[in-house]
Amino acid sequence: MLKRIFQTLNQWFLPPEPQSRALPQNQTRTSGDRPSITDPPPRNIQKELDRLSQALTQQIPAKQTDNLLIATWNIRAFASLTRKWTAGDNDSPKRDLRGLRAIIEILSRFDVIAIQELKGDLRALRDTLRFLGDDWGFLMTDINSGSQGNSERFAFLFDRRRCKPSGLAAELVVPLEQKGQIAEGALQRQFARSPYAVSFQRGETTFILVTLHILFGRHEDERLSELRAIAHWMKDWAEQSNRYHHNLLTLGDFNIDRQGSDGYEAFTSTGLTVPPQLLNLPRTIFDDPEKSNDDKFYDQITWFENDERSLLEMKVRRGGNFDFMPYMYTDMDLTRTSISYRLSDHLPLWLEFQLD
């Protein structure tokens, strides 16, 4: 059932890149010098990042000895990077150091983050890890091949001071002889992007995180087969894992239109539960906070609860999203779509758990 691919990838996939050239104290960088992610940003950008940091401090719980902070974030086309503080009209990609520093500031507030849409080019991830330093680690898959896989990877970024991998890293695949047993009409092929499971430990608490990115397709009907399949796959795994008292969570981009839709009903059909803390929250920068009924329900953190397959022994304290739009690129006349390529179109979604 599991194709094990436990990988320590820091040296294999991420060899060090040349650092930016150090300058004498009495000199400043000229237009011909390429800035580094670790350089002090221009004053106006530093003020912007300070406002972002203050908002995060107000909205995201602090890391404490008795809590665990888990997040999921689809970071749009998280791949290459233009090493300028602000990318210009002729620059490609549009993701720049300003946007990446904002992404890093948000990521740093959590213990473990499941990242979707990490691509083949790892320049932005390299700079992220360079800025965060040795206290942070990561695990990721190779790219998902094929047109439907969109050359995407899954990754878990984690704070080594707070938690560590506990042994399991696996891609979820459906054995050919079992496809027909999962559910009628559930899946006639493998997942377009194989879900990725990793186990972690914080203190005496162990937990398994399964991240996924459901195929969007041209309309919702094309998503239902993968949603049904992952729901039944997780039910089977839950029944097997219940004996070992693991906390089992599924998180990622489910591409569910809204609560109560066919996609939502397919995914929750086997007992997966969305916590109330994450209901009626905008998932993307295009959602209208004043019209929660119209919000997309794409991103989720779920588990089996209140039945014989309940696999969550941790207590939820708080949860939410984080809207970075009021704080970033406020000095530029950019559309939301333009900002989505510099930062992301999805908002990070998070939960705080209480540990015994």
Residue 8 lies in a domain: no
pLDDT digits (tens, 9 = 90+) for 293-316: 656 778 989 988 755 555 688 899
Residue 141 lies in a domain: yes
Residue 22 lies in a domain: no
Residue 275 lies in a domain: yes
Phi-psi region of 85 (alpha: psi -120 to 50; beta: other; left: phi over 0): alpha
pLDDT of residue 181: 43
| pLDDT greater at residue 167 or residue 113 | 113
Residue 19 lies in a domain: no
- Number of domain units in the chain: 1
The C-alpha atoms of residue 244 and residue 255 are separated, in whole angstroms, by 31
CA–CA distance from 351 to each of 30, 59, 110 (Å)? 43, 12, 9
pTM here? 0.85
pLDDT of residue 70: 98
CA–CA distance from 75 to each of 119, 162, 163 (Å)? 10, 23, 23
Residue 97 belongs to domain with CATH number: 3.60.10.10
pLDDT of residue 165: 95
Nearest to 82 by CA among 131, 118, 127, 39: 127
- Residue range of the domain that includes 74: 41-354
The C-alpha atoms of residue 271 and residue 310 are separated, in whole angstroms, by 9
pLDDT of residue 247: 87
Q: What is the distance of C-alpha 326 from the center of its chain? A: 21
Structure confidence at residue 264 as a pLDDT band (50, 70, 90): confident
With tokens 């107000």, the residue in question is: 58
Instruction: Indicate whether 326 pLDDT > 50.
Output: yes
pLDDT of residue 267: 80
